[in-house]
Amino acid sequence: MREATVSQILDRLDYLPASLCGAEPSGLLGIFPNPTLITLAGERGPPLWLTTVLHGNETTSFYVLRALADKYRDRPLPRSLTIFVGNVRAAAVGVRHLPDQPDFNRIWGEGGSGYHRLVQEVVEEARAQCPFASIDIHNNSGNNPHYGCVNALRPADLHLAAMFASLGVYYRNPSTTQSIAFSQFCPAVTVECGQSGDLAGVERALDLVERTLNLDAFPEAVPPAGALRLYRTLGSVRIDPECDFAFGGSEAELNLRADLEALNFSELESGTCWATRRGSQIALKVIDEHDHDLTAQFFSYVGEDIRLTRPVTPAMITHDPDIIRQDCLCYLMEPL
Ligand SMILES: [Zn+2]
């Protein structure tokens, strides 16, 4: 039996509520009291599958949903569309997830909690529908260009990413995300639309959704060189939980470069300084998808300096201390 808390109930609709028009994320709970699956019939199938509001502090997917409600309330959809609206309780208060909740984009693998069972129900329904494609919309907490993430190197997945932006990331870790689950049975992309409030990110995500709704089929060959610059992730950078840290000069044990966030998607050379430390601890660690410690392959600790030992491209560097503690400082990548 499902646990009886409100957030684990999955509501179902077959229309876009009129109350979405003009709404703001803070009013989401009044429109969708629970995670909701909206099934909309279009002029043809199979459906495009759209995932929204997995992270409550990321507003772009909400504004895309609102724009779709404005446009298609009394106009036929060119293709059927199924929309999952995820963490409505967290969105109502503008946080990634509430303290009593898991991260809604880390529950799409095996697990027995009510949250896992809720998304397993969503996945099983999607698998049965054989979606045309899956798009999951997110924002970054740090300053990043727009990019799409794929979990399979099939032509359709790569085209989907290239339709959104010319930068792409291939990753297999974390393995419990929505797009990894959906990539098992349809082309899937996660689009990172800059920071919340980035209007160009909303426009670009909406454009991707509309172009995919109108697409007959994905090309069978991979996108031409130049259409998509693809990177693969090598590991994530974690800060020792025992260690206090700051950006720019301070008395903290670990002082990260003040301009670190500006290095997202820059191809950095070996020897580039990332931080200085006051003690002797290994304050910055690099961990791969199997939880192996790869720190020595990426960082050298010489005196106070922490420098790169090889060329690398960072992404998703954030200055937000909560996200650094809950998730990581950033990911390290190389061109694929
Ligand atoms: Zn997110």
pLDDT tens-digit map of 12-41: 999 999 999 999 999 999 999 999 999 999
55 contact partners, CB below 8 Å, separation of at least 6: 87, 90, 96, 97, 103, 104, 105, 138, 139
The answer to whether residue 7 scores a pLDDT higher than 70 is: no
C-alpha of residue 174 to centroid of ligand 1, in Å: 13
Closest CA to 179 of 200, 203, 154, 215: 154
C-alpha of residue 55 to centroid of ligand 1, in Å: 5
Closest CA to 329 of 290, 303, 295: 295
User: What domain range includes position 248?
Assistant: 231-335
E-strand ranges in 153-290 read 167-170, 188-192, 229-239, 245-247, 254-256, 273-277, 284-287
Within-domain flag for 284: yes
C-alpha of residue 331 to centroid of ligand 1, in Å: 14
How crowded is residue 26: how many other Cβ atoms within 10 Å of its Cβ? 12
The answer to whether residue 235 scores a pLDDT higher than 50 is: yes
- Shared-domain flag, residues 238 and 221: no
- Shared-domain flag, residues 35 and 107: yes
C-alpha of residue 34 to centroid of ligand 1, in Å: 19
- Shared-domain flag, residues 30 and 55: yes
Looking at the DSSP bridge assignments, the partners of residue 246 are 255
pLDDT band (50, 70, 90) for residue 6? very low
pLDDT tens-digit map of 71-91: 998 899 999 999 999 999 999
C-alpha of residue 290 to centroid of ligand 1, in Å: 22
Structure tokens that stand for 142 in this block: 């740090």
C-alpha of residue 40 to centroid of ligand 1, in Å: 24
Burial label for 259, CB within 10 Å (0-12, 13-18, 19+), is: exposed
Within-domain flag for 1: no
C-alpha of residue 195 to centroid of ligand 1, in Å: 10
- From 188, 212, 227, the end of a domain falls on 227
pLDDT band (50, 70, 90) for residue 225? confident
Looking at the DSSP bridge assignments, the partners of residue 191 are 137, 148
- Shared-domain flag, residues 96 and 219: yes
Instruction: Indicate left, alpha or beta for 105 from its phi (over 0: left) and psi (-120 to 50: alpha).
Output: alpha
Are 79 and 218 within 8 A, CB to CB? no
- Shared-domain flag, residues 222 and 247: no
- Alpha carbon distance 58, 79 (integer Å): 26
Q: What is the mean pLDDT of residues 90-99?
A: 94
C-alpha of residue 328 to centroid of ligand 1, in Å: 13
The C-alpha angle 121, 122, 125, rounded to 5 degrees, equals: 85
Q: How many domains does the chain have?
A: 2
Amino acid sitting at position 10? L
Looking at the DSSP bridge assignments, the partners of residue 259 are none
- From 227, 258, 291, the end of a domain falls on 227
DSSP secondary structure of 184-219: TTS-EEEEE-SSTT-HHHHHHHHHHHHHHHT-S---
Which is more confident, 6 or 226?
226
pLDDT tens-digit map of 102-146: 999 999 999 989 999 999 999 999 999 999 999 999 999 888 999
- Shared-domain flag, residues 146 and 290: no
Task: Report the Cα 185 to chain-centroid distance in Å.
Answer: 19
Within-domain flag for 197: yes
Helix, strand or coil, per DSSP, at residue 72: helix
Mean pLDDT of the chain: 94
C-alpha of residue 216 to centroid of ligand 1, in Å: 29
C-alpha of residue 74 to centroid of ligand 1, in Å: 30
- Shared-domain flag, residues 282 and 213: no
Within-domain flag for 106: yes
pLDDT tens-digit map of 269-313: 999 999 999 888 889 999 998 889 999 999 999 889 999 999 999
- Shared-domain flag, residues 47 and 155: yes
Closest CA to 177 of 54, 56, 63: 54
The answer to whether residue 1 scores a pLDDT higher than 80 is: no
pLDDT band (50, 70, 90) for residue 326? confident
pLDDT tens-digit map of 134-187: 999 999 988 899 999 999 999 999 999 999 999 999 998 889 999 999 999 999
- pLDDT of 24 reads 95
C-alpha of residue 149 to centroid of ligand 1, in Å: 12
Within-domain flag for 264: yes
C-alpha of residue 196 to centroid of ligand 1, in Å: 10
Instruction: Indicate left, alpha or beta for 109 from its phi (over 0: left) and psi (-120 to 50: alpha).
Output: beta
- Alpha carbon distance 49, 46 (integer Å): 9
- Shared-domain flag, residues 221 and 237: no
- Alpha carbon distance 75, 95 (integer Å): 34
- Alpha carbon distance 203, 209 (integer Å): 10
CATH number for position 179:
3.40.630.10
C-alpha of residue 58 to centroid of ligand 1, in Å: 6
